[in-house]
Structure 1
Amino acid sequence: MATNNRSRSRTQFDNMKYEIASQLGINLKQGYNGDLTSREAGTIGGNIVKKVFESYTGNQYPQYDTNQQNQ
């Protein structure tokens, strides 16, 4: 039973990953994706974190201005 739940979770995660990559215009294929840049992979991962955070808390992920220098 636990294996079935784990498999279902993995499938849902993979579906979300491909959906986000598609929305961002990043060509993500099943299997090896070593041709992705670090920026592309990080963008996909960052958007996954935002989506999981929003679904878990029901709140929007806070936006920070990364261009502003520390004072």
Structure 2
Amino acid sequence: MASGQNNNSNTLLVPQANAGLNQLKYEVAQELGIAIPQDGYQGNMTTKENGSIGGYITRHLVQIAEQQLAGK
């Protein structure tokens, strides 16, 4: 890949949501007892730790969407 190219397909549809998602990541990690480094770099964390955080966030977001669709 040529330098300067970004092949990241994980673009946010609502860029303003980035801060909220980042905050949610830290809250979930704290609930699960996982320490995210202060610099935010998760490259030294295990796949299991990162997967647990991502899975919990996904379940939480799906739950919120289901509640909104149900009119609650």
With normalisation by structure 2, the TM-score equals 0.67
Sequence identity percentage: 31
Runs of at least 5 residues in structure 2 that lack an aligned partner in the other structure? 1-13
Deviations 1:30-56 (A, max 9, x none): 431111111100000000000000000
With normalisation by structure 1, the TM-score equals 0.68
Give the one of 27, 31, 34 matched to 1:23. 31
Structure 2 distance, partners of 1:34, 1:25, is 18
Structure 2 distance, partners of 1:15, 1:31, is 11
Structure 2 distance, partners of 1:21, 1:35, is 15
Q: Is 2:42 aligned against 1:44?
A: no
Runs of at least 5 residues in structure 1 that lack an aligned partner in the other structure? 60-71
Q: Is 2:21 aligned against 1:13?
A: yes
Structure 1 segments (4+ residues) deviating >4 Å: none
Q: Report how far residue 25 of structure 1 moved.
A: 0.5
